Amino acid sequence: MNQELSQAMSDQINKEYYSAFLYLSMANWCSAEGFKGASNWMYAQYQEELAHAQGLYQYMQMRSEPVNFKSIDDPSGSWDNLLDVFKKTLAHEQFVTESINNLASVAMRANDHAAYIFLQWYVTEQVEEEGNANDLIDKLTLAADNTNALLNIDDQLAARVFAAPVIPYLE
């Protein structure tokens, strides 16, 4: 693996860990605001982001590449309401999508077909990530300030269960 790709993979691992802690921070906010279902959804998202980071890490280990860990920025934030939380979730996922796409482009330029194929799982995963956030934004927008509708959505979010992703090469 060339140096540029190796460093870009390390950078992505760090971004995935930041994402995990951002969602844990959002879970904490949701819980404090009484949205236990949304807190559960965000906690499952936290677990998923950890799995994404671990998948990239395991791939680097398979390739005998060192990983350069960096300090993770403080993910704490404040949100105006549940709709704001999911709008910020979508914005963050769009940032991650751009980062993953750039990483795949680095793999292509490096002519590293194995890395490029491995990263395709992450590319398609981002379609799901953005889609989920968009769906929830649509529901929360329709609910507006209707307490019953918000509680119904929160109940639906409580049903999410983390399932460890099956990432090719790492099965």
The CATH label, of 3.40.630.40, 1.20.1260.10, 1.10.150.20, 1.20.1070.10, for the domain at 3-68+79-157 is 1.20.1260.10
Which pLDDT does position 168 carry in this prediction?
83
For 118-170, write each residue's pLDDT tens digit: 999 999 999 999 999 999 999 999 999 999 999 999 999 999 999 999 998 77
Average pLDDT over residues 65-93: 96
Sketch the domain layout of the chain as residue ranges: 3-68+79-157
pLDDT for 58 = 96
Tens digit of pLDDT for each residue in 19-50?
A: 999 999 999 999 999 999 999 999 999 999 99
Task: Look up the pTM and report it.
Answer: 0.95
CB 29 within 8 A of CB 80: no
